[in-house]
Amino acid sequence: MTDQKPKLLLHICCVGCGVYVSQLLKLDYDVKLFFYNPNIWPEEEYKKRLGEAEKIAKKFNLELIKGEYDHDKWLKAVRGHESNPEKGERCLICYKFRLDEAVIMAKKFSCDYLTTTLTTSPHKVASAINEIGEQAAARFGIKFLSQDFKKQDGFKKSSALSRELGLYRQNYCGCEFSRSHKF
Ligand code: SF4
């Protein structure tokens, strides 16, 4: 009898939430991280967030898969929605854009489950993200782990852990349209 844990691909949108959620999920799953965020602008900011993810993956001995950074492709996907408020249609497209790619990666790496750290933020509506994730995962026969990681003080705990580890915490969601909306 083996105690092999199911494989889970964790899409991480930033390292602060990523480190907290990955430590939580490691108890029950064999976790791989997937950094796929072509929404982030400018590129220097993208590199900064990716660099932090690399540091943490090394520190906690986690495999980190890096997605492509194609911001122009992302911009095309959200065209016409640039002025939408946060949590509006542009954000729904942005979640889908990232989770559609995450599920392809989960399949490629033979993962049983997929989930995302996106629900950790108090600025994100978990039900919308989970619905998009479930639809994307179903197309590939992968289970989407629907969660709301901000619950049980998840956001506070993730902020405290990133402070403790001295991690960079961004002050806006990611895209150029969210830069004026500081956290
Ligand atoms: S505000 Fe955040 S979730 Fe919404 S479109 Fe921009 S990067 Fe994506």
pLDDT digits (tens, 9 = 90+) for 64-109: 999 999 999 999 999 999 999 989 999 999 999 999 999 999 999 9
Tokens describing residue 183:
């956290």
pTM of the model: 0.95
pLDDT digits (tens, 9 = 90+) for 118-152: 999 998 999 999 999 999 999 999 999 999 999 99
Tokens describing residue 134:
């479930």
Phi-psi region of 37 (alpha: psi -120 to 50; beta: other; left: phi over 0): beta
pLDDT band at 2 (very low <50, low <70, confident <90, very high): low
For residue 8, the cross-strand partners are: 31, 113
Name the CATH superfamily housing domain 7-178: HUPs (3.40.50.620)
Residues 10-31: what's their mean pLDDT?
94
Query: What residue segments make up the domains of the chain, in order of their start?
Result: 7-178
Does position 115 have pLDDT exceeding 90, yes or no?
yes
Q: Residue 29 corresponds to which amino acid?
A: Y
List the one residue out of 48, 14, 53 whose CA is nearest residue 158.
14
CB atoms inside a 10 Å sphere around CB 122: 9
* Distance between CA atoms of residues 67 and 13, nearest Å: 11
Residues 111-117: what's their mean pLDDT?
98
Residue 32: CB within 6 Å of ligand 1?
A: no
**Using CA positions, which residue lies closest to atom 5 of ligand 1?**
91
**More confidently predicted of 181 and 114:** 114
**Ligand 1 nearest atom to the CA of residue 93, by list position:** 5
* Distance between CA atoms of residues 66 and 32, nearest Å: 11
pLDDT band at 182 (very low <50, low <70, confident <90, very high): low
List the one residue out of 41, 35, 27 whose CA is nearest residue 54.
35
CB atoms inside a 10 Å sphere around CB 76: 9
List the one residue out of 172, 130, 137, 182 whose CA is nearest residue 40.
172
Residues 15-22: what's their mean pLDDT?
91
Residue 39: CB within 6 Å of ligand 1?
A: yes
**pLDDT for the residue 78:** 98
